[in-house]
Amino acid sequence: MSIRVIIGTVLVAFTMMILAFVMVNEPARMADFEAGYKGRSIEAGAALFQSSCTGCHGVQGQGIDGIAPALNAADLFDGVRLKEIGWSGTLKDYIRSAIAGGRPRASAVFANYPQRMPAWSQEFGGPMRPDQVENIVDFIMNWETTALAAAAAAPAAPVDAVGTDLNVELPQGDAANGELLFTGQVSGKYPCSVCHSLQAGQTLVGPSLAGIATTAATRKDGLSAEQYLHESIVLPNTYIVEGFANPSIMPANFGAQMTKQELADIIAYLMTLK
């Protein structure tokens, strides 16, 4: 009987020691766990971003010109974008609200991105739960260090931009290069193929460009096919094809982003689509 009492005391003492050991290590364990779950949130956010966001924001969050702004960008994290938009809260709140509630149609601030961003949170009719929205927020916030570090290496706008003056003289165009530019195979630059299908009758976002070389000449009186194409690319609102949105949702800044050679190449390529 005494043996039981002795062993019983020893067991209670050991239990106390284990409990004390656990209590001492608790703060470190909790911090570890919190960091761990932040990591898992970023992982889940990466997967969700891949399935839902890359179509408009690019595979590495670099943005697609005229479709959606870059998220992997210094101006998002250094406060410039927030100031432009007039957001008074935190960056995380801004990202969360954009994902959850979406973005309305083009405003003065978003002239370069005329398309709507859909609402993603179930709260506003979208498909995602609040924790999924939070995962994506964590993933995007994780670009902060690399985006700010890469800020110095950002390329400047092309010096030789074609502008919106329709009378500017264009050099000889290379249709082969034009095709590469059209399909976005030149370092992600203006992939026209995202919005313009080459299959007759298929509308992706804008009108199909099948046989555009023939159609272009008939669109506006007095304009040759090449002149019409030049005008539709740098000033997309001057002519809207029937049945498509007016004002046009085609980005209006291609003139500032393309060089004369690039515009000439694209027009040359489009002229091969009879």
Partner 1 sequence: MAIFKLHVPILDDIKAKGLKPALLAKVDDAVTRFTAGLSIGDLRGVLRGDPAPRPNPRLKPHADGFWFHMRPTYYHNLVTPLYPEFRLGWLSLYFMVFETITGIFLMVFYTPSPLVAFENMLNILSRVPLGLFMRDLHRFGAEAMVAIVALHMLRTFLTGNYKKPRQFTWFTGVVLLLVTLILSFSGYLLPWDQLSLWAVTIGASMVEATPTPWPLNLLGDRFFGDPSFVGTWVNNIARGGPIFNADGLLRWYLLHILALPLIGFVFIGVHYYKVVIHGHSLPPEAEKVGEDTAKRVPMDQRTYFMPDIITRELFYVALVTFISVFAVTLGNFHAPLEPHADPLVTPLHTTAPWYFLWIQGMLKLGDKVFWGLIAPGIIFGVLFVLGYIEVGPSRRYADRRVGLSVCMVALIALSVTTFMGTPWYAVSSSADQEVVAVLVPQTHPGPLRETPYEEFVAGEYTVKPDDQADPQAPTEGLKSLLTLYKHELELASDRLKNAEGIMIVEDWQENLKKITLRINWTNDDGTAGTFSQDVYLHQDSNYGD
Partner 2 sequence: MSSAAPQAPTTTPMTRREFLYYVWGASMALFMAEFSGALVWFALPRFKEGEFGGKLPVDVSAIPGVDTGPKDFPEGRFWLVNLGPKSVSDERQPADYPPQQGVLAIYKVCVHLGCLYKWVPTNDRFECPCHGSKFLANGVRVDGPARRNLDAFVMRALDANGNELAKTKAGDPAKDDSAGAPFVLPAGTVQIEVDTGKRIQGAVNTKPGGGK
**Which spans of this chain sit near partner 1 (rule: CB under 8 A)?**
1, 4-5, 7-8, 11-12, 14-15, 18-19, 21-23, 26-27, 29-30, 32-40, 42-44, 46-47, 50, 129-132, 139, 142-146
| Min separation Cβ 1 and partner 2, Å | 7
Radius of gyration, alpha carbons of the chain: 28
Task: State the binding partner of 104 from partner 1, partner 2, none, CB within 5 to 8 A by kind.
Answer: none
| Min separation Cβ 210 and partner 2, Å | 55
CA neighbours closer than 13 Å in the CB half-sphere of residue 189: 19
Token digits of residue 231: 């005008």
Comparison of 2 and 145: residue with beta carbon closer to partner 2: 2
Distance from C-alpha of 111 to C-alpha of 28, rounded to nearest angstrom: 49
257's enclosing H/E stretch is helix 254-257
Task: State the binding partner of 107 from partner 2, partner 1, none, CB within 5 to 8 A by kind.
Answer: none
Task: State the binding partner of 131 from partner 1, partner 2, none, CB within 5 to 8 A by kind.
Answer: partner 1
| Min separation Cβ 46 and partner 1, Å | 4
Q: Give the N- to C-terminal CA distance of the chain in Å, as an integer.
A: 103
Distance from C-alpha of 62 to C-alpha of 56, rounded to nearest angstrom: 10
User: Is-contact 266 175, C-beta < 8 A?
Assistant: no
Size of the chain, expressed as the number of residues it contains: 274
Distance from C-alpha of 33 to C-alpha of 74, rounded to nearest angstrom: 30
Task: State the binding partner of 92 from partner 2, partner 1, none, CB within 5 to 8 A by kind.
Answer: none
Comparison of 92 and 129: residue with beta carbon closer to partner 2: 92
Considering only CA atoms, which of 199, 197, 192, 179 is closest in space to residue 257?
192
User: Is-contact 196 67, C-beta < 8 A?
Assistant: no
Q: Which residues bind partner 2 (CB under 8 A)?
A: 1-2, 5-6, 8-9, 12-13, 15-16, 19-20, 23
Comparison of 30 and 168: residue with beta carbon closer to partner 2: 30
| Min separation Cβ 99 and partner 1, Å | 17
Comparison of 25 and 202: residue with beta carbon closer to partner 1: 25
Comparison of 71 and 234: residue with beta carbon closer to partner 1: 71
Task: State the binding partner of 160 from partner 1, partner 2, none, CB within 5 to 8 A by kind.
Answer: none
Task: State the binding partner of 20 from partner 2, partner 1, none, CB within 5 to 8 A by kind.
Answer: partner 2
Sign of the Cα torsion 122, 126, 131, 134 reads negative
